[in-house]
Chain A
Amino acid sequence: MPDAPGLELIRGEIERDCPGAVLATSYDRTQAALNVDPTRVLDVLRWLKEQPGHRYDFLSSLHAADYLPNQPRFAVHYELINRDRVERIRVKAMLADVPPAGGDDAEDSPGRESPASETGPAGQQLPSIDSCVELFPTADAQEREVFDFFGIVFRGHPNLTRILMPDDYVGWPQRRDFPIGGEPVTFTYSEERYG
């Protein structure tokens, strides 16, 4: 882990090359994190991967979390490792939820133009972020998993389909407003036959 001053140094260097891309840093429980602008996440990831002297070139995990009721609600986390210095850094891109179409736009978050959205399978508007499969091929399955469970669209992903849930499933199960349980049983043969 880079320590807190080390993290600020990294932030300063990124700021020089990609101004405005890093919104904030956090150093919590000895874990360093960069909170980045979701539209610039690829710039930051590319910088961290390719900048001489840093080379955070191993993406160990990509996952998402739902911070409901906080806004912006979603975050995509990239856990990067620098194997030379044996350091970890987390890149976090916060994504606002897209308000349902036709709903009241009164509570649109101020200071943020309408969030980047993408049309999902059922014509639903979904939050979206650039895919990093080009940079880190390992992200392929993990981005599909995030899409599967959170309905976050990764723009430019070669094959963004559901990976663990059935292809015809409706809903985004890992969202916090998705209820636990109540899933209908799909194997009804015995029920129909034997009652």
Chain B
Amino acid sequence: MAERQAEVGLSTDMLETPDRGSEIMTVNVGPHHPATHGVLRLVVDLEGEMVRELRPVIGYVHTGIEKSCEDKSYWKVIPFVERMDYVSYFFQMEAFCGAVERLIDLEIPPRAKYLRTIFLELNRIHSHLVWLGTTALDLGAISMLWYCFRERDKILDLFEMATGQRMHTRYFQVGGVIEDIPVGFEAKCRAFAEEMPVRVGQYEDLLDRNEVFLSRTKGVGIVPRERLLELGVTGPLLRAAGEPWDLRKAFDYLAYPEMDFKIPVGTVGDNYDRYRVRVAEMVESSRIIGQALDALPEGPFIADDRKYVLPPRSELSTSMESLIHHFKLVTEGFRVDPGEVYYSIESPRGELGCFVLADGSAKPARVHYRDPSFVNLQAFREMAVGSYVADMIASLGMLDPILGGVDR
């Protein structure tokens, strides 16, 4: 009978009583949970369905990549760092290669700059597609996943065509790119860049008038712009709050100064704006790819400095110097004079910085990545506290953390 009364006591009018504040329940979400987009653990204090306090616990996929890089020669670090943020691997490569190129003061040829720009933007679309598919899935829009991954597969096909690998391509080298694009790549890539805005329009048709999606995203997870800046948040999250800060425009690197593109910004800074900004960025990235293909300069795709760059394969059987250079580069690697460089680029998630400290040997003394997911995750508490559990999951998806990058 007493149990029965307890059941009756838990009627809806009890939920409405104002003094339910003492009923705080701590729930552990993750670390293995599909909605956390990786191995992220959230310790959440719940009051009914409201999130009152939240502590993200990270470190579950820490693999010590930064430490391992200290034991690798410079060119062997490249495939290692790609595996940090496993969705935007080209960006990881560019951050490291760009930092080393600045350390050794090596200018990369114009064609390499354009090729890198093309692949970075393809990767940006790829990353946003993974984000859109999985986040819409969190909000119940299952079909989005199939549509997004259909286009993602086309990008992976392009990567495979040019680099031989679908993921973790190791395409960027210190001095340029490892190989020129194959015959037929340009046409296929151009077709994709023309098709992509149409596809983005289709995604918008699916989501923009979807009542469930709109009510789940509009007005949810708002953090003011000033607070985001204090928390060091960059990328689409910051731009959705109305701050037009994009490193592609701010600091000139690669072929971005010659490209004509816009920085999409939001007004409110809620989850809907975050979605709008990323979707608009996909269209802008397609425009950049088209322009870069139009203006793709002829010429070498990698610098011609034999101290740092592998000689062409064909020369190895005819030139003794090339053979020696090849041998030296493959066995020992190249040495870098002591110095330190911090080089940052705009990754799909914000400022991706790479700090490389050289001590004069053939191995870096320190490789540090300023990962945007790691820093952006600090804003998650303020996005989610005071909202429903379901909105916390939505906000986490819209934050788009990649735990491989967070933990490194």
Contact = CB atoms under 8 A, between A and B. Distances in A.
A180 B368 contact: no
Closest 5 CB pairs of A and B: A138-B232, A61-B370, A164-B59, A164-B62, A63-B368
Interface string A43-64: 0000000000000011111010
Nearest to A141: B378
A2 to B, nearest CB: 14
A160 interface: no
B374 A83 contact: no
Contact of A137 (B66, B71, B230): B230
Given A79-B353, A90-B342, A138 B230 contact: yes
Contacts of B230: 136-138
Interface residues on B, range: 35 or more
Contact of A141 (B64, B245, B355, B377): B377
Given A137-B378, A164-B62, 9 more contacts: A29-B102, A29-B103, A60-B344, A60-B351, A137-B231, A138-B232, A138-B378, A164-B407, A165-B59
A161 to B, nearest CB: 11
Contacts of A61: 342, 344, 351, 353, 355, 370
Contacts of A8: none
A141 B375 contact: yes
Contacts of A166: 59
Interface residues of A, number: 38
Contacts of B341: 29, 31
A57 B232 CA distance: 10
Given A29-B102, A29-B341, A86-B251, A174 B59 contact: no
A58 B232 contact: yes
Contact of B229 (A58, A162, A174): A58
B70 A180 contact: yes
Contact of B245 (A65, A83, A164, A173): A83
B370 A141 contact: no
Question: Which applies to chain B's interface (DSSP): helix, strand, loop or mixed?
Answer: mixed
A142 interface: yes
Contacts of B250: 83, 86
Interface in A32-52: none
Contacts of A137: 230-232, 378
A31 B357 CA distance: 13
A165 to B, nearest CB: 7
A77 interface: yes
B296 interface: no
B370 A60 contact: yes
Contacts of A63: 355, 368, 370
Interface in A113-171: 136-142, 145, 149, 162-166
Contacts of A178: 67
Interface in B348-401: 351, 353, 355, 357, 365-366, 368, 370, 374-375, 377-378
Interface in A161-195: 162-166, 173-174, 176, 178, 180
Contacts of A105: none
Contacts of A86: 250-251
Given A142-B375, A164-B58, A166-B59, A28 B407 contact: no
A61 B250 CA distance: 17
Interface string A61-101: 10101110000000001010001001010100000000000
Given A164-B58, A164-B59, A164-B62, A138 B71 contact: no
Contacts of A66: 365-366
B339 A28 contact: yes
Contacts of A145: 374
27 contacts: A28-B340, A29-B103, A29-B341, A31-B341, A57-B229, A58-B229, A60-B232, A60-B234, A60-B344, A61-B351, A61-B355, A63-B355, A65-B357, A66-B365, A67-B357, A77-B342, A88-B342, A90-B342, A137-B230, A137-B231, A138-B230, A138-B375, A141-B374, A145-B374, A164-B58, A164-B59, A180-B68
